């Protein structure tokens, strides 16, 4: 009897803390949206230079690694698809596969995962360290809202820069596919470009960008939430950072599945 | 008697089920320096956190200039907080910014002052705490005492009426600690600030305090001037002021049981 009640008790408690987290994240999201959308009209919006700082750190500083990985992925997909398509003498369709798979799927996903590792973790660690060293309390005692000063600039910067990085990854990835075709397959440059353009439709780009906007929200929200809820010193910051990366990547892939299914069934 | 600037009425605070503050009543008058004294864990820092609105009470009221800060809207609270400075135990400087930017932070956020005026304000405040020329340093480059002084400069950046200090001399050597005490006294005299200090350092207490509130296990057990407190018959007050250790329990049976469970 006791073990059963313990068993269900622990499940119940787990479920409650989980729901608690959800409610808190929802509150954080609503608060952030208030500061992003409503506050500027009341002339209380956050100052732009905080957002610009974050845009540099999230966007500009991620450019090299995102480009490098996108280029590699372009090379990989081109080789893998050529391996199969050669059997049918249809190597020209490498261009279709590279373009469509990158733009619809891989570049939003990979960019989001790179940025989670680079910046999602940094958001959690920075805000968490500020929490531990009483800096968040200090903000509050100055009458300054930590969401406005810390969460909003990071969220805005993420929302702007992740789609930009994604578009960049699209181009660089296609360039990778192009490189393989030029070097080892007998496809001419003009045909490859023509084929790529004809393979793509606006909806492909659109679906990729919609995904990256939602991924940006996930990364910024989870990072900030984990940071603001750090407890217990350096160890707490470490745990929050790990958690933010794991949860973000999980949610990104889950959201990816959802949107892929949605676009697959509607377009 | 002057009007109280801060009134704490029947304040109850709890962490989960553990009651930390048990019906606290405290009046702090304008222009006085009130020291909240007590052992570690007696709830004095919690009281401070409630007075500045960092924590929500379970029950009771905290009135600043007659208005309850626990029931206020965000905007009203911000207006009150602009008149309050807080020096944290760890100084809580923003580590990513220079000392100058730290001091300027509340000014830039709350006022529309021009940048050249802000630069002058930074210089003035840093000079006041004896840190002239350190405005381009990062907090990590300063010693503990300098960080505290920089924290103080930031706390008074908006020229507040009330200054809260959480353990201002904790972790500092006696000379630096005395320097901080003098600085606080100087600020009080120069700007007629109301000063509320939480501490357990007796040396500071006798230098700074106009009145002392002594806390024990979530209650205020004595309140008055230092002379009044020294005359108090309360054994807990006397034990604290005379720095006597707790009497050790010599109950072997109990001790043995506690070890063996």
Q: What are the CA-CA distances from residue A132 to residues A29, A233, B101, B228 (Å)?
A: 22, 6, 21, 39
Question: Token pair for residue A148?
Answer: 């406005």
Q: Which of A143, A150, A152 should we substitute to test contact with B (largest number of B Cβ atoms within 10 Å)?
A: A143
Q: Which of A142, A144, A237 should we substitute to test contact with B (largest number of B Cβ atoms within 10 Å)?
A: A142
In this predicted structure, the answer to whether residue B191 has a pLDDT above a threshold of 90 is no
- A132 domain residue, yes or no: yes
Task: Give how far B189 is from chain A: nearest CA, Å.
Answer: 23
H, E, C per residue of chain A: CHHHHHHHHHHHHHHHHHHHHHHHHHHHHHHHHHHHHHHHHHCCCCCHHHHHHHHHHHCHHHHHHHHHHHHHHHHHHHHHHHHHHHHHCCHHHHHHHHHHHHHHHHHHHHHHHHHHHHHHHHHHHHHHHHHHCCHHHHHHHCCCCHHHHHHHHHHHHHHHHHHHHHHHHHHHHHHHHHHHHHHHCCCCHHHHHHHHHHHCCHHHHHHHHHHHHHHHHHHHHHHHHHHHCCCCHHHHHHHHHHHHHHHHHHHHHHHHHHHHHHHHHHC
Cβ-Cβ pairs closer than 8 A, A with B, add up to 52
Q: What is the pLDDT of residues B220-260, one digit of tens each?
A: 888 888 888 888 888 888 888 877 777 766 677 777 787 77
Report whether A124 contacts A227 (CB < 8 A).
Answer: yes
Q: Which of B52, B95, B96 sits opposite A141 (nearest CB)?
A: B52
Neighbours of A48 (CB within 10 A): 11
Whether residue A141 and residue B95 make contact (CB cut-off 8 A), yes or no, is no
**pLDDT attached to residue B40:** 82
Task: Give how far B52 is from chain A: nearest CA, Å.
Answer: 7
- What CATH architecture is B6-83+161-260? 3-Layer(aba) Sandwich (3.40)
What ipTM was assigned to the predicted interfaces of this complex? 0.84
In this predicted structure, the answer to whether residue B1 has a pLDDT above a threshold of 60 is no
- A182 domain residue, yes or no: yes
Residue of B nearest to A42 (CA): B75
Q: Which of A141, A144, A145 sits opposite B54 (nearest CB)?
A: A141
Q: Which of B84, B89, B90 sits opposite A141 (nearest CB)?
A: B84
- Those residues of chain B whose CB sits closer than 8 Å to some CB in chain A are 49, 52-54, 74, 77-82, 84, 86, 88-90, 92-96, 105-106, 109-110, 154, 158, 164
Range of the domain at A181: 45-266
Task: Give how far A148 is from chain B: nearest CA, Å.
Answer: 11
Which part of chain B has CATH 3.40.50.300?
Answer: 6-83+161-260
d(CA B153, CA B100): 10
pLDDT (tens digit, 0 to 9) for every residue of chain A, 267 residues total?
678 888 888 888 888 888 888 888 888 888 888 888 887 777 666 678 888 999 999 999 999 999 999 999 999 999 999 999 888 888 888 888 999 999 999 999 999 999 999 999 999 999 999 999 889 999 999 888 888 889 999 999 999 999 999 999 999 999 999 998 888 887 888 888 998 999 888 888 899 999 999 999 999 999 999 999 998 888 999 999 999 999 999 999 999 999 999 988 876
* Antiparallel, parallel or unpaired: β B33-38 and B211-216: parallel
d(CA B40, CA B42): 6
d(CA B46, CA B8): 13
Report CA B249 to chain centroid distance, whole Å. 34
Q: Which of B54, B153, B154, B163 should we substitute to test contact with A (largest number of A Cβ atoms within 10 Å)?
A: B54
- By CB neighbour count within 10 A (0-12 exposed, 13-18 middle, 19+ buried), where does B20 fall? buried
- A238 domain residue, yes or no: yes
Question: Token pair for residue A78?
Answer: 């081109």
Contacts of B109 in chain A (CB under 8 A): 142, 144, 149
Q: How many helices (H) and strands (E) does chain B have?
A: 10, 10
* Antiparallel, parallel or unpaired: β B194-199 and B162-166: parallel
- A125 domain residue, yes or no: yes
Most confident range, picked from A31-45, A209-223, B60-74, B203-217:
A209-223
- A20 domain residue, yes or no: no
**Whole-structure pTM over 0.90, yes or no?**
no
Whether residue B88 and residue A138 make contact (CB cut-off 8 A), yes or no, is yes
Question: Token pair for residue A125?
Answer: 């660690």
Q: What is the pLDDT of residues B178-188, one digit of tens each?
A: 888 888 888 88
Q: For tokens 């407890």, name the residue.
A: A231
d(CA B51, CA B70): 9
Closest alpha carbon to A130 in A54, A66, A224: A224
- A10 domain residue, yes or no: no
Neighbours of B251 (CB within 10 A): 10
Q: What are the CA-CA distances from residue A170 to residues A166, A178, A204, A208, B238 (Å)?
A: 6, 12, 11, 10, 75
Task: Give how far B241 is from chain A: nearest CA, Å.
Answer: 30
Domains held by chain A: number? 1
Report whether B92 contacts A133 (CB < 8 A).
Answer: yes
Closest alpha carbon to B208 in B186, B230, B237: B186
Whether residue B92 and residue A140 make contact (CB cut-off 8 A), yes or no, is no
- A23 domain residue, yes or no: no
Residue of B nearest to A132 (CA): B92
Decide: helix, strand or coil at residue B128. Answer: helix
Question: Token pair for residue B1?
Answer: 């008697």
d(CA B148, CA B171): 10
- A97 domain residue, yes or no: yes
Report whether B156 contacts B128 (CB < 8 A).
Answer: yes
Contacts of B154 in chain A (CB under 8 A): 138
Contacts of B163 in chain A (CB under 8 A): none
Question: Token pair for residue A91?
Answer: 């190597």
Contacts of B77 in chain A (CB under 8 A): 143
């Amino acid at each position: 009897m006791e073990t059963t009640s313990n068993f269900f008790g622990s499940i119940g408690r787990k479920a409650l803390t989980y729901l608690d987290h959800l409610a808190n994240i929802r509150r954080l999201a609503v608060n952030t949206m208030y500061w992003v959308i409503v506050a500027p009209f009341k002339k209380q919006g956050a100052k732009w230079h905080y957002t610009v700082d974050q845009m540099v750190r999230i966007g500009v500083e991620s450019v090299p690694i995102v480009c490098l990985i996108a280029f590699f992925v372009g090379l990989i997909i081109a080789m893998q698809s050529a391996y199969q398509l050669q059997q049918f003498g249809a190597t020209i369709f490498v261009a279709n596969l590279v373009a469509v798979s990158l733009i619809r799927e891989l570049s939003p996903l990979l960019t989001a995962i790179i940025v989670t590792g680079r910046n999602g973790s940094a958001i959690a660690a920075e805000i968490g360290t500020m929490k531990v060293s009483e800096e968040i309390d200090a903000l509050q005692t100055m009458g300054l809202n930590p969401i406005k000063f810390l969460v909003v600039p990071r969220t805005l910067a993420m929302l702007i820069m992740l789609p930009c990085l994604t578009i960049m990854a699209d181009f660089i990835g296609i360039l990778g596919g192009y490189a393989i075709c030029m070097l080892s397959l007998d496809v001419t440059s003009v045909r490859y470009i023509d084929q790529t353009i004809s393979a793509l439709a606006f909806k492909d780009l659109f679906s990729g960008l919609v995904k990256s906007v939602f991924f940006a929200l996930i990364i910024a929200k989870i990072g900030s939430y984990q940071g603001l809820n750090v407890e217990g010193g350096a160890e707490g910051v470490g745990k929050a950072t790990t958690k933010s990366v794991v949860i973000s990547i999980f949610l990104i892939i889950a959201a990816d599945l959802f949107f892929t299914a949605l676009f697959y069934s509607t377009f | 008697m002057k009007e109280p600037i801060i009134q704490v009425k029947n304040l109850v605070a709890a962490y989960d089920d553990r009651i930390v503050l048990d019906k606290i009543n405290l009046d702090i008058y304008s222009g006085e320096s009130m020291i909240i004294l007590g052992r570690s864990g007696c709830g004095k820092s919690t009281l401070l956190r409630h007075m500045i609105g960092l924590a929500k009470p379970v029950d009771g009221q905290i009135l600043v200039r007659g208005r309850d800060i626990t029931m206020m809207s965000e905007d009203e609270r911000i207006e009150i907080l602009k008149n309050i400075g807080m020096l944290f135990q760890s100084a809580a400087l923003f580590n990513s910014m220079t000392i100058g930017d730290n001091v300027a932070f509340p000014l830039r956020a709350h006022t529309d002052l021009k940048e050249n005026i802000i630069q002058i304000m930074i210089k003035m405040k840093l000079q006041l705490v004896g840190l002239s020329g350190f405005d381009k340093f990062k907090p990590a480059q300063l010693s503990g005492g300098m960080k505290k002084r920089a924290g103080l400069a930031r706390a008074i950046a908006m020229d507040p009426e009330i200054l809260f200090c959480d353990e201002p001399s904790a972790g500092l050597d006696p000379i630096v600690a005395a320097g901080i005490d003098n600085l606080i006294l100087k600020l009080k005299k120069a700007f007629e600030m109301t000063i509320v200090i939480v501490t357990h350092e007796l040396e500071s207490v006798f230098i700074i305090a106009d009145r002392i509130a002594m806390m024990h296990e979530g209650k205020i057990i004595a309140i008055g001037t230092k002379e009044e407190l020294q005359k108090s018959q309360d054994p807990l007050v006397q034990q604290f002021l005379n720095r006597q250790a707790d009497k050790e329990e010599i109950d072997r049976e109990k001790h043995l049981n506690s070890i063996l469970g």
